[in-house]
Amino acid sequence: MAHRAILGWFLLLATVGAQDANASGGRLLPEQAAIDVRHYDLALTVDPQAKTISGACTMTARALTSVERVALHLDQRLTVSSVVVGERQVPFTHADGLVRVTLPGPVAEGGEVAVTIAYGGAPRVAPNPPWKGGFTWKETRDGQPWIATSCQGEGADLWWPCKDHPSDKPETFDLHITVPRGLVCASNGTLRKVERVKGGRRFHWHVANPISNYCVALNIAPYTVLKTTFVSVDGTRVPVEFYALPRNEAKAKKFLPEVLDHLKQMEEICGPYPFRNEKYGVAETPHLGMEHQTIIAYGNKYRVRQAFNYDWLHHHEMSHEWWGNLVTCKDWRDMWIHEGIGTYMQALYLESRRGPEAYAVQMTKKRRTLRNSRPIAPRASQDSKQIYFNPKGGFDNDLYDKGSWVMHTLRWVLGDKQFFKALRRMAYPDPKLEKVTDGSQGRFATTEGLRAIAEEHHGEDLRWFFDLYVRQPALPELVVKKDGGRLQLAWKTPGDVEFPMPVPVKLGKKIVRVPMPGGKATVALKGRVYEVDPNHRLLKVEPRRPGRRGRRR
């Protein structure tokens, strides 16, 4: 998700009150911990006039223990008409956003659990998509429906019954979506079939890779589809599909080469695009954007003439195909992996395509917003809203911008060569996985797992680095004193924890790396002019906010 308009969310909250505590993840219900979802089959008819959906969802799962009951989340705004197991209807309850089903008999460990829930109604209208999600029912200028779903913060149970937890992705997914004639439904995976049915057309999309529930999306409009091919680093020809509103066809066409360049740069740094056996897709949406797997929601209005003359929004959402969709946090406490590393990718794009100065300007810009009021990777389990919204209110970008600075400073510690090797292994831990497209190329990752990869490439323990930067909120302070002909450097840390962060010091014209064993060092100046951390490599307390002017010193 992109963070630009997050302020709007809070303004909205202030006016309507916290009416919906519906979040995703956090504590796993025992009934949900007992199953591993393998597949969802979602068949829905979307009625733009009535603003309703109706249909059925079949969940197929493997029992991890003996299972007698199934519990799936579904927003209370929707009404369940029946639940079928095997071929028989079974009793159910639907209360507090949870559909509870008692199976006709227990399913033994390793057995298959399949439940079909027929339901329908008016799903929540997204109050401020994508940050506060649901269905967005917009119209194009000529009055045709333009519909999008978004549900990262609340979970997909806003519109279909699911095990609403980030730790369980179905291996595959099928969508059968019926929309009125003249409209196109753009969704995840590959389009298997378009059928004429009563009242419209039914689109069958098949997802061949594991997918996070919140990444399943409907985009419905009288889209024009621009198609091209992207040749991946591994030689695969990947279909690229851009679903544009007809009036924006020319703009989309002009934008496509940049889309391909973003893909190319991400592959250069992070390895092959993970979903080469499906497609890379973009759908123009009436909200800013979301990392919907293989069908990125794009609502940045083709504003490529923004800062640095590139479309940051598209690049950001696309970077989530690696950081979020290939590499996924199992618990929302590790969401900085999606947003922090995802945000750092834009700086790397600018460095690669516009030069080091653009990278420096981007990082300086990101440094300004940090709040440091809570850890970006708390150790305790978090639901999607706990991790995303600061309980103290206000604007909090730390998951994004502090996360990107953690990567920036990690790069200083490891050095470019090892850092970029480590970054690639964070995406694909084994080079062999870069060749895989059967769904096993992705994984759940944790902060500890990424630390292990960084340590492997650094050859030294990095607990001190991650403990200080992501496990607690306060920044370290570098105390610099000039003592005669010597420079005294000392790290001041919260709780006086050990912090042997090496410090770059410019002495005369040369930048040297000063090791800081025990968090301290003394540098003999020998009459040379000095500057500490001249290129702002260190995430630390700044005496004043670094500005562009400061950088040119």
Q: How far is the CB of 389 from Zn ion (least distance, A)?
A: 15
Helices (H) and strands (E) in the chain, counts: 12, 28
Closest to Zn ion by CB, 342 vs 378, is 342
Nearest 5°: phi and psi at 41?
-120, 115
DSSP secondary-structure letter at 158? Answer: G
Q: How far is the CB of 149 from Zn ion (least distance, A)?
A: 17
**262 phi-psi bin (left φ>0, alpha ψ -120 to 50, beta other):** alpha
Q: How far is the CB of 400 from Zn ion (least distance, A)?
A: 7
Q: How far is the CB of 6 from Zn ion (least distance, A)?
A: 11
Q: How far is the CB of 511 from Zn ion (least distance, A)?
A: 33
Mapped onto helix, strand or coil, the DSSP state of residue 277 is coil
Closest to Zn ion by CB, 48 vs 342, is 342
**Residues 68-107 as x/- pattern, contact with Zn ion by CB under 5 A:** ----------------------------------------
Closest to Zn ion by CB, 284 vs 339, is 339
By CB under 5 A, the count of residues binding Zn ion is 3
CA 278/CA 282 separation, integer angstroms: 13
**Residues 11-50 as x/- pattern, contact with Zn ion by CB under 5 A:** ----------------------------------------
Structure tokens at 370: 């940090």
Closest to Zn ion by CB, 205 vs 323, is 323
**Residues 421-440 as x/- pattern, contact with Zn ion by CB under 5 A:** --------------------
**Residues 375-414 as x/- pattern, contact with Zn ion by CB under 5 A:** ----------------------------------------
Q: Is 313 in the site for Zn ion (CB under 5 A)?
A: no
CA 442/CA 427 separation, integer angstroms: 8
Q: Which stretch binds Zn ion (CB under 5 A): 172-180, 335-343, 350-358, 449-457?
A: 335-343
Mapped onto helix, strand or coil, the DSSP state of residue 296 is strand
Q: Which stretch binds Zn ion (CB under 5 A): 140-148, 332-340, 355-363, 375-383?
A: 332-340
- CB environment 126-153: b (16+ within 10 A), e (fewer): bbbbbbbbbbbbeebeeebbbbbbbbbb
Q: How far is the CB of 300 from Zn ion (least distance, A)?
A: 13
Closest to Zn ion by CB, 45 vs 382, is 382
2 residue type, one letter: A
Structure tokens at 142: 């000529």
Query: Alpha helices of 63-127 — where are they, by DSSP H?
Result: none
Q: How far is the CB of 461 from Zn ion (least distance, A)?
A: 30
Q: How far is the CB of 1 from Zn ion (least distance, A)?
A: 4
Closest to Zn ion by CB, 384 vs 472, is 384
Q: How far is the CB of 215 from Zn ion (least distance, A)?
A: 12
Q: How many CB atoms lie within 10 A of CB 273?
A: 26
Residue owning tokens 């209110």: 393
Closest to Zn ion by CB, 48 vs 289, is 289
Nearest 5°: phi and psi at 471?
-90, -15
Closest to Zn ion by CB, 306 vs 488, is 306
Closest to Zn ion by CB, 132 vs 457, is 132
Closest to Zn ion by CB, 267 vs 321, is 321
Q: How far is the CB of 289 from Zn ion (least distance, A)?
A: 8
**Residues 338-367 as x/- pattern, contact with Zn ion by CB under 5 A:** -x--x-------------------------
DSSP element (H, E) containing 426: helix 416-427
Closest to Zn ion by CB, 339 vs 383, is 339
Distance of CA 320 to the CA centre of its chain: 5
Q: Say if residue 526 is exposed, middle or buried (CB neighbours under 10 Å; 0-12, 13-18, 19+).
A: exposed
Closest to Zn ion by CB, 2 vs 44, is 2
**Residues 131-150 as x/- pattern, contact with Zn ion by CB under 5 A:** --------------------
Q: Is 1 in the site for Zn ion (CB under 5 A)?
A: yes
Q: How far is the CB of 338 from Zn ion (least distance, A)?
A: 6
Closest to Zn ion by CB, 200 vs 342, is 342
Q: Is 221 in the site for Zn ion (CB under 5 A)?
A: no
Q: How far is the CB of 86 from Zn ion (least distance, A)?
A: 41
CA 126/CA 286 separation, integer angstroms: 11
DSSP element (H, E) containing 411: helix 398-414
Residues 6+ apart with CB under 8 A from 266: 273, 318, 319, 321, 322, 345, 349
CA 129/CA 288 separation, integer angstroms: 8
Q: Which stretch binds Zn ion (CB under 5 A): 337-345, 348-356, 386-394, 421-429?
A: 337-345
Q: Find the angle CA(177)-CA(156)-CA(186) to the nearest 5 degrees.
A: 35
Nearest 5°: phi and psi at 131?
-70, -35
Taking a C-beta distance cutoff of 8 angstroms, is the pair 28, 168 a contact? no
Which of 493, 426, 423, 427 is CA-nearest to residue 464? Answer: 493
Q: Which stretch binds Zn ion (CB under 5 A): 76-84, 334-342, 383-391, 493-501?
A: 334-342
DSSP secondary-structure letter at 210? Answer: -
CA 208/CA 363 separation, integer angstroms: 37
Which residue, judged by CB position, is nearest to Zn ion in the bound state? 1
Residues that bind Zn ion (CB under 5 A): 1, 339, 342
